[in-house]
Chains A and B, each alone.
Chain A
Amino acid sequence: MDWDFFIELGLGGLTRGSIYALIAIGYTMVYGIIELINFAHGEIYMLGAFTGLIVAGVMGVYGFPVFAILLMAIVIAVLYCAAYGYTMEKVAYKPLRGAARLSPLISAIGMSLFLQNYIILAQTSDFLPFPELIPDFEFMEPVAHIFGSTDLVIVVASSVSMLALTLFIKFTKMGKAMRATAQNRKMAMLLGINADKIISTTFIIGSSLAALGGVLVSTHSGQLNFMIGFIAGVKAFTAAVLGGIGSIPGAMLGGLFLGLTESYAAGYISSDYEDVFAFSLLVIFLIFRPSGILGKAPVEKV
């Protein structure tokens, strides 16, 4: 067994998996609270990337240092997308809260198409270059071959934000209220929890993480266009389902699991079958453990 190659692929899978996990959290949180698959979540990720590009472009003109640009790009993208996520929920989902389950789902698909076309009109449908915001600092030689600075930043940034989120959910009053709402919204409301506020917070947190992912991934891959949210969204959704939709640690685990599976499948078999393995994994899970890795089987509420 060629251990070097095994480790290389593992690190590649880790990078990929952290990205999936970061986006998957948004899907899983929204589903956990209002049982909606927010199909427009991938587009928030794409909007985050575009915001980052615009900030980087403007600040680049004024000659700010790269580190400051990266920081500002992330901060502004996060704020902007948080506002987008908040508004999206108010416009597209809140009016449909009492409706049949299919209606908000269709509204989500509509929102996704709307945002894609909005970017085509407001920006362009072409591929755009994304500046290298994470400087390519040199590692020691054997490491430089397998793990770059952008990989490191992606893994660290997503781990830190996921840890922060976990602590937030576990120890703050807001986090407790969120958990209560996820468990039983009606009961939580009866106990004086403002469910609307909780739902808005969920959208804000999910969108912020997606925006962070958008900026980091674009600087990693060096390019973006209006379609990047679709593919990332499908993969992150798969990760969320694998981990057990509704569970935040599940989304993280599912993301990593998916990233590693793809990386090893591409490395040892062929990247032709990358997607085949990812989705076969999903099917196998749905057959043998439909609730995902950490999901709980739904209990009929009486």
Chain B
Amino acid sequence: MTFSGLVKSIVTGLAVTALCVPAFAADTIKLGVAGAHSGDLASYGLPTVNAAKVVVEKINAAGGVNGKQVELLIQDDQCKPEQATNVATKLISDGANVVLGHICSGATKAALPIYTEGKLIAMSPSATNPMLTQSGDYPTFFRTIASDDMQARLGVDFAIDKLGAKKIAVLHDKGDYGKGYAEFARKFIEEGGKAEVVMFEGVTPGAPDYSAVVQKIRRFKADTVIYGGYHPEASKLISQMRKKRIKANFVSDDGVKDDTFIKVAGKKAEGVYASGPIDVSDLPMYQEAIAAHVKMFGTEPGAFYPAAYAATVAMLTAIERADSTDYDAVTAKLRGEFVETPIGKIKFNEKGDAEGVGFSMYQVQNGKYVELK
């Protein structure tokens, strides 16, 4: 947090305390925005702040939520868990009504017990760790992004149901993200019982040659490879597979659903499947949200901006519909009613995951990723 930010929040805090006469409710709705706004992960957090600013300006100009203006309480946690707990405590003592954030799964996990205790709703546009919602420990937590396991679920179902996979080689890049995806994939294949995991291994990023792994894919007669990780290793893997005449299908994640993958793997990328966020760029509200950002900041928004925009809209709409900032009332509206957002029509399930957002499968066809309907 910057020094001036600190001063500002102290001053606002004092002003609010001074103005608040117990008989009256606070005359603004306070939207906390928590995430990495400085440090090396700021590029993930700052689009969230911009999204909140864009939405709040629009709502305030139109008369606010139920006649109350929305005020932003912006707090920086740098994606560090120890900072995130401070930020959470600060937001509660500042009287935030809802919180947009946090950004990183680790920081979110650290902050959530505090929000749970304080009955404060927090909604993340980017924390994808499955346990945050599935553990059921954090009833105040929601998110507008699909969790990591949903991608693995999609990949496995696609491989087995659409491609008829029987013997699957599950590979990963030994990283948190790739290995997590691969472990979920293995779990889902084994639970489903319709196909068999013939090998489960990590490849070494940066190694000059993957021939040993490729030979094993052949040896175990895998008909499908499910790979968790990013595009540099995936393109090396697919190139060597095709060079050694292995025709197995290749299914991967949104780390591979990247145009660089096609550029690097070239013709050998043809036919590769990779999941990625559902394409929503045709939605009018999506285009409107992007245009508002360009107008206000003069630049194209960064990653997670649409998800953050959606989260802000979802929370403020729920408050408006509930005509209250009470936890139970707002939660009921979030779970019960659909809301129109830039990423589609969404509502939230019991665990807090958004229904209506998610991934779809893409395939490389003629040098381009094409969404498979």
Given A127-B232, A146-B244, A148-B244, decide whether A217 and B215 contact each other with a Cβ distance below 8 A.
no
Please judge, given known A-B contacts A223-B236, A275-B204, whether A128 and B212 are in contact too, CB under 8 Å.
Answer: no
Contact A128 B245 (CB under 8 A): no
Most A CB within 10 A of own CB, among B209, B232, B235, B244: B209
- The answer to whether A129 and B202 touch across the interface, beta carbons within 8 angstroms, is no
Q: CB distance A222 to B236 under 8 Å?
A: yes
- CB of A41 within 8 Å of the partner chain: no
Is B218 at the interface (CB under 8 A from chain A)? Answer: yes
A35 at the binding interface (Cβ < 8 Å): no
Q: Check: B206 CB closer than 8 A to any chain A CB.
A: yes
Return the chain A residue nearest B258 by Cβ.
A127
B267 → chain A closest CB, angstroms: 9
8 closest cross-chain pairs (CB), A and B = A12-B211, A266-B212, A231-B206, A129-B264, A272-B202, A267-B212, A8-B215, A16-B209
Q: Could you say which residues of chain A place their CB within 8 Å of the CB of B266?
A: 129, 222
| B238 (CB) vs chain A CBs: closest residue | A222
Scoring A16, A144, A223 by chain B CB atoms within 10 A of each residue's CB, the highest score goes to A223
Q: Which of B202, B208, B268 contacts A232 (CB 8 A)?
A: B208
CB of B145 to closest CB in A, whole Å: 25
A19–B174 touching, CB < 8 Å: no
Neighbour of B244 across the interface among A13, A126, A145, A272, CB < 8 A? A145
29 contacts between A and B (CB under 8 A): A5-B215, A5-B219, A9-B212, A12-B212, A12-B215, A16-B208, A128-B264, A129-B263, A129-B266, A145-B245, A146-B244, A150-B243, A151-B211, A221-B209, A221-B236, A222-B239, A222-B266, A223-B235, A231-B207, A264-B212, A267-B212, A267-B216, A270-B201, A271-B201, A271-B203, A271-B212, A272-B202, A274-B207, A274-B212
Question: Interface readout for A188-210 with B: 1 if CB under 8 Å, 0 if not?
Answer: 00000000000000000000000
Per the bound structure, the CA–CA distance linking A267 and B232 in Å amounts to 22
Mark each residue of chain A from 178 to 195: 1 if its CB lies under 8 Å from any CB of chain B, else 0: 000000000000000000
Question: In angstroms, how far is the closest chain B Cβ from the Cβ of A236?
Answer: 10
Q: Once the chains are docked, how many angstroms separate the CA of A127 from the CA of B262?
A: 11
A267 to B201, CA, bound (A): 11
Most A CB contacts (10 A, CB to CB) among B202, B210, B243, B268 go to B243
**B260–A126 contact, CB under 8 A?**
yes
A16-B208, A222-B264, A274-B204 known; 17 other A-B pairs, CB under 8 Å?
A5-B215, A12-B212, A19-B208, A127-B260, A128-B264, A144-B245, A146-B215, A148-B244, A221-B209, A221-B236, A221-B239, A223-B235, A227-B206, A231-B206, A267-B212, A270-B201, A272-B201
Does A228 interact with chain B (Cβ within 8 Å)? yes
Return B230 CB to nearest CB of chain A, in Å.
Answer: 9
Q: Distance (Å) between the CB of A202 and the closest chain B CB?
A: 24
A263: Cβ under 8 A from any B Cβ: yes
Q: Report the minimal beta-carbon distance from B238 to chain A, rounded to whole angstroms.
A: 10
Chain B's closest residue to A150 (CB) is: B243
Judge whether A225 is part of the interface by a CB distance below 8 angstroms.
yes
> How far does the Cβ of B263 sit from chain A's closest Cβ, in whole Å?
6
Residues on the B chain within 8 Å of A221, using CB: 208-209, 236, 239-240
Closest to A2 in B: B219
Q: Does A43 contact B (CB under 8 A)?
A: no
CA distance in complex: A144, B243 (Å): 9
Q: In the complex, what residues of A have CB within 8 A of residue B204's CB?
A: 271, 274-275
Number of A-B contacts defined by CB within 8 Å: 96
Contacts of A151 in B (CB 8 A): 211
Q: Are B265 and A222 in contact (CB under 8 A)?
A: yes
Residues on A facing B (Cβ under 8 Å)? 2, 5, 8-9, 11-13, 15-16, 19, 126-129, 136, 144-146, 148, 150-151, 217, 220-223, 225, 227-228, 230-232, 262-264, 266-267, 270-272, 274-275
Cα distance, A231 to B206, chains bound together (Å): 6
The complex places the Cα of A186 from the Cα of B364 at a distance, in Å, of: 63
- Are the CB atoms of A263 and B212 closer together than 8 Å? yes
Please report the C-alpha to C-alpha distance between residue A16 and residue B201 in the assembled complex, in whole angstroms: 19
**B293 close to chain A: CB less than 8 A:** no
Nearest CB in chain B: distance from A126 CB, A: 6
Q: Determine the main DSSP class of A at the interface with B.
A: helix
Contact assessment for A9 and B215 in the assembled complex, using a CB-CB cutoff below 8 Å: yes
State the CA gap A8–B219 with chains docked (Å): 10
Rounded to whole Å, the gap between the CB of A92 and the closest CB of chain B is 25
Q: In the complex, which residue of chain A has the Cβ closest to the Cβ of B236? A: A221
Q: Bound complex: CA of A275 vs CA of B243, how far in Å?
A: 24
Within 8 A of A (CB), among B216-267: 216, 218-219, 231-232, 235-236, 239-240, 243-245, 260, 263-266
Q: Which chain A residues border B211 with CB–CB below 8 Å?
A: 8, 11-12, 15-16, 151, 263
Are A267 and B264 within 8 A (Cβ)?
no
Any A CB within 8 A of the CB of B150: no
A127 contact from B212, B231, B268, Cβ within 8 A: B231
Query: Which chain A residues lie closer than 8 Å to B218 at the CB level?
Result: 145
Chain A residues near B195 (CB-CB < 8 A) = none
- Tell me the complex Cα distance, A179–B217, Å: 47
Residues of chain A within 8 A (CB-CB) of B216 are 266-267
Query: Which residues from chain A contact B239 at a C-beta distance below 8 Å?
Result: 221-222
Please name the residue on chain A nearest to B204 by beta carbon.
Answer: A274
Residue ID in chain A nearest B213 by CB atoms: A271
Once the chains are docked, how many angstroms separate the CA of A43 from the CA of B92?
51
A144 to B246: give the CA distance in the assembly, Å: 11
Residues of A within 8 A of B215 (CB): 5, 8-9, 12, 146, 267
> Which residues of B have CB within 8 Å of A128?
264
